[in-house]
Amino acid sequence: MDESILVCVYYGPNGERLIRRGGKIANMLNCPLYVLTVDPLPEDELDIEKTHYIEQWKELAKEHNVQHFYIKYNEPRPVAKVIREVARKHNITQIVLGQTAQSRWREITKGSFINTLLNEIPFVDLHVISVSRDLDNSNDGYFEKGIRAYLLKESDHYRLNFSHTLQDVCEGIFYKEIGTDFNNGIFKFMRNNCMVEVQIIDDYVKDMPEHIELRDDESK
């Protein structure tokens, strides 16, 4: 029987793992892969954090030869209805979902979402993936809302900057610690299709991973 995979993602670092898992399954079965995300807001109301994740997913979609990446903006319908629409359009046989308490898919953990989805599209196999929340602490009450920021290279250090300049070596999202008057927190950025997270202390990166190379010409 011909197989077809649909990965459903929502904003957060776990989307990367889900797309990679779906890509691995699609590669094993030599079948088409599709990605879907749903947002009740119109596209022009998305904040920088959501936009950042979408850009990341698009790069991963290219890497895993995704046939079509669906972004359903301004969507008033229940998520299960939207999934059914895409699943029927492409004869989806397997769906990959994430299990995380911080996402819109949290109903999955209660079982009700699975039952609803199976009622909408029976005879489809569901893969409910347990995802890590190691990178999701920025939304857990310890940090402010993420904002766009940049890194500047100064000698052997990287300094956080909130204005775009020609000297930027990296663009990403900064999550400031709640209750601090200084720029302390977490900075996240994409490198080689992977999310990198570094700690910021008083405007500077504490430790840049050794395998990460940032050059002046990469942000141009």
Q: Looking at residue 145, what DSSP letter applies?
A: P
Please check the confidence at residue 141 and state whether its pLDDT lies above 80. no
Our count of domains for the chain comes to 2
Pairing of strands 147-154, 168-176: antiparallel
Amino acid making up residue 86: V
Token pair 């405007």 in the structure block, residue:
203
Summarised one tens digit per residue, pLDDT across range 55-112 is: 888 888 999 999 999 999 999 998 889 999 999 999 999 999 876 444 444 444 455 6
186 in the same domain as 118: no
Pairing of strands 204-205, 94-99: unpaired
The whole-angstrom separation of Cα 13 and Cα 10 is 9
Q: Domain boundary residue among 77, 111, 130?
A: 130
Contact 175, 143 (CB under 8 A): yes
100 in the same domain as 192: no
119 in the same domain as 19: yes
- What's the burial of 151, exposed, middle or buried (CB within 10 Å: 0-12/13-18/19+)? buried
- Greater confidence (94 vs 212) lies with 94
Positive/negative CA dihedral, 40, 43, 48, 52:
positive
23 in the same domain as 93: yes
107 in the same domain as 32: yes
Residues 6 or more apart whose Cβ sits within 8 Å of residue 176: 143, 144, 147, 183, 184, 185
Report residue 8's pLDDT band, with 50, 70 and 90 as the boundaries. very high
Mean pLDDT of 30-57: 86
What's the pLDDT score for residue 102? 41
Identify which of 43, 136, 27, 112 has the alpha carbon closest to the alpha carbon of residue 7.
Answer: 27
Average pLDDT in the chain: 82
Please check the confidence at residue 208 and state whether its pLDDT lies above 90. no
113 in the same domain as 184: no
What's the pLDDT score for residue 64? 93
Helix/strand/coil percentages in the chain, nearest 5: 30, 30, 40
Q: For position 86, which CATH number holds? A: 3.40.50.620
189 in the same domain as 92: no
